[in-house]
Amino acid sequence: MVYWTFLIPAIVVVLIIIIVKLDTADNYISRAMASKAMALALTDKEECQVSQNENGSRLPAKLKEEWSAKYIDYLFEQGLIEEETVVDEDYASSPLTYGEAAFAAEQVSKGLSQALNISKKKYNKPMPKEEWWLFYPSFLKAADTQQAVQEVKLLLYGTPDNVKEAAPWTAYTSEGIMGFEGLSMDSYIDHEIKVLIRNGEMIHLSAVVSDEVVYRNVWLAPGEHKKMNLYIGTIIREFPSAKEVEEEEGGVLADVSLSKGKIKKLSLKKDTIEGKVLAVRDDSIEIEGYGEVRLDKDFKVYKTYGVVKEQKKKDILVGYNLEKFVVADKKICAALLVKSFSAKNIRVLVMDTGFSSIFHDKIILKADTPLHLEYGDSSEVIEAGSELVIKKDDERLLKGRLTVEPEDRQKGIKVASVSRQQGTPEYFGCFEISKESEGLLLVNEVDIEDYLTRVVPSEMPSSYEVEALKAQAVCARTYAYRQIQANAYSQYGAHVDDSTNYQVYNNIDSNERTNLAIKETDGEMVFYGDTPAETYYFSTSCGYTTDGTIWGADLKDVPYLQGIALTEDKKMEDMTKNEVFVPFIQGQGMKNYDSGYSMYRWSTTITNKKLAEKIDDIGTIQALFVTERGTGGIAKTVKVIGSEGEKVLKGQTQIRNMLGASDLVYKKNDGSTMTDWASLPSAFIAVDETARDEEKGTRTFTIWGGGYGHGVGMSQNGAQQMAKEGKTYKEILNFFYSDVDVRELTE
């Protein structure tokens, strides 16, 4: 008894001490949280990590593993932490002192530490959280010159606490997926809160707005064990089952009201409409039979077949009827994708003569069969051989989109107001005409195989070997499939236009050879795994192709777009080095599939004065250097040095445009010349000064180049040579695209 009499009070005292210490520690801002806040005032989380990777870490091994390490190291690199600071394993978890805050503030802006209003006595004392966050706006104003840190109001509906598959420090919110390193957010699930963020990383929870929230337009479906699944964002939440949801086979759209994390009210939305989607705009969707219907401010898209998940508005494909649209109060609350996509039709914006614009002042259509014209509730028949003329002020356009179909679907419709290389172009399928503020739009909806009959001859000479034409057909079909899914022109009710922006369509009429190539590869595409590949193609290589990173892609996302040599073994030399690439491009290199074509090698000259027409503000141009090359030797950066500064040209598009001019004369590999090209044929180039006139102040640069086009994927002339040598179209495609399979799409 005596033992316990003394022991129990001792335990109580120890517990009190521990509680007091913990409570005290919790009142102060830790160096970890303060370092994160200061670092994110200066830059974003990714840059802090990059800085640490490049510069190394000065922290102890155990601390390096902590989330705060990259922020602390970044502050050291930027000079916001004193060099002589001793960093031990407890450094990050220990409180920030007033003196440390003052030192960092002075490095950001002289005199900023005065906002702390601290005395010498407080200099080494820990800084309370409340005081830190009162000071932080002043620090932020001085450090965040781009105003990248923002305060946002959002709904928090998921963290690793209730989402098993969530990565550490991941928050699922109404504003998207965010990080919250160092913050405690689990208790704020199903709350409306205000947070400071930079580039998707939370810095500070500044206010709790409410513990009552409404998740609008979410998908509810019966679950297991008397539960129901609530699909919100990219996660699934489980709640006790509700009878009204159990009665809805497959699921139902609803507004879900929660209070303190529990469902208080369900408002089901059951009314639906459906029809072919004609256009998808920022705030509306045009549906055949319903016209333009406005979108609810919390509009959602859900895939409801197979694995249910939330999608994006861009996944609503124009020209197809794959959705049901849930409506309430005359607005679309959600699009429910109920069918899988199988490319049958493609919708093409027909551009004006010269492919200068998608907009027309006037459209003239005629056919050898009657044309049926429909607009609103009205219809007309245009006699065979008669012209249908539509101008911008045509009253029929007041009723919305005009549709024009031939009575005999085996006959085409001529567009007399447009001229192409073949003359007046004729199109199969039907047309839709709509009016925008910039002019009239002309959309040709056509079967994808019919579309290809006018793409393949426009992209590859019909005189080429049939196996090369087959390879082109499969590439074109795959490319078209991906462009339908990309849905880039959805606001105008189309997938692509008919220019080199996508694939040239109907510039040259169809013929028997290209039609045969399309027919014999009917439905076949290039697949990487189960996904149709990005089948880029171009005219001619320099003997090497480059990889898919030239447009900023990560090679792991397009592993089939590898740089290769156009020799049978495809073996690459390291063409990224100037000392290897320059003699190669100035000579002929090894014989390869493209070396017999005129654009395999070319050269031209350009003066510094001609260059100055596009490259200004650096004085007299004195030198050009290729400073970085990509796979295959393609120029990635070119430095232009002038008497008053320098500029760096980045990426093949800018390099080709800035170094090219329409009056340059190019000498081709066969000795012939060409001119009237606004940009360089390719970015596989080497540059050298070859003449100088000091009196005139003129310097002449010779550009040695090879190939024609971007250099990614299939060389069309390379494919032709391979076909001449007996290769099949599948062998050609497997040569240019690594580890792919050529087959038909399976549902």
Enter the tokens of residue 47.
């840059």
- Determine the pLDDT at residue 13: 47
* Tens-place pLDDT, residues 362-386: 999 999 999 999 999 999 999 999 9
Cα 331 to Cα 365: distance, rounded to the nearest angstrom? 36
Torsion of CA 429, 488, 154, 327, to 10 degrees: -10
Cα 24 to Cα 9: distance, rounded to the nearest angstrom? 22
- Which secondary-structure segment (H or E) carries 454? helix 448-459
Mean pLDDT calculated for residue range 227-241:
92
Cβ neighbours of residue 107 under 8 Å, at least 6 residues apart?
A: 78, 79, 80
In terms of Cβ atoms closer than 10 Å to its own Cβ (0-12, 13-18, 19+), residue 410 is exposed
pTM of the model: 0.79
Mean pLDDT calculated for residue range 240-265:
92
Does the structure show a pLDDT above 80 at 25? no
- Determine the pLDDT at residue 696: 86
* Contact between 155 and 173 (Cβ < 8 Å): yes
The CB density around residue 443, as the number of other CB atoms within 10 Å, is 28
- Determine the pLDDT at residue 635: 97
Torsion of CA 681, 684, 688, 690, to 10 degrees: -40
* Tens-place pLDDT, residues 439-472: 999 999 999 999 999 999 999 999 999 999 999 9
* Contact between 364 and 417 (Cβ < 8 Å): yes
* Tens-place pLDDT, residues 515-542: 999 999 999 999 999 999 999 999 999 9
Does the structure show a pLDDT above 60 at 303? yes
> What length is written for the chain?
747
* Contact between 92 and 57 (Cβ < 8 Å): no
Mean pLDDT calculated for residue range 282-308:
94
- Determine the pLDDT at residue 10: 52
> At which residue do the structure tokens 């600071």 appear?
85
Cα 132 to Cα 247: distance, rounded to the nearest angstrom? 54
Q: Choose between 248 and 403: higher pLDDT.
A: 403
Cα 189 to Cα 153: distance, rounded to the nearest angstrom? 14
Cβ neighbours of residue 745 under 8 Å, at least 6 residues apart?
A: 342, 343, 481, 523, 525, 532
Between the CA of residue 223 and those of 43, 239, 325, 326, 676, what are the distances in Å? 44, 9, 23, 22, 66
Mean pLDDT calculated for residue range 229-239:
92
* Tens-place pLDDT, residues 173-221: 999 999 999 999 999 999 999 999 999 999 999 999 999 999 999 999 9
Mean pLDDT calculated for residue range 637-663:
95
* Tens-place pLDDT, residues 97-141: 999 999 999 999 999 999 998 888 899 999 999 999 999 999 999
Give the mean pLDDT of the chain.
Answer: 93
Cα 145 to Cα 631: distance, rounded to the nearest angstrom? 38
Does the structure show a pLDDT above 80 at 19? no
Does the structure show a pLDDT above 50 at 618? yes
- Determine the pLDDT at residue 746: 72
Does the structure show a pLDDT above 90 at 22? no
Enter the tokens of residue 147.
């105003």
Q: What is the largest CA-CA distance in the chain?
A: 117
Q: Which of 383, 477, 502 is nearest to 745 (CA)?
A: 477
Does the structure show a pLDDT above 70 at 4? no
* Contact between 213 and 155 (Cβ < 8 Å): yes
Confidence bin at 14 (pLDDT 50/70/90):
very low
* Tens-place pLDDT, residues 619-633: 999 999 999 999 999
Confidence bin at 250 (pLDDT 50/70/90):
confident
> At which residue do the structure tokens 């337009």 appear?
217
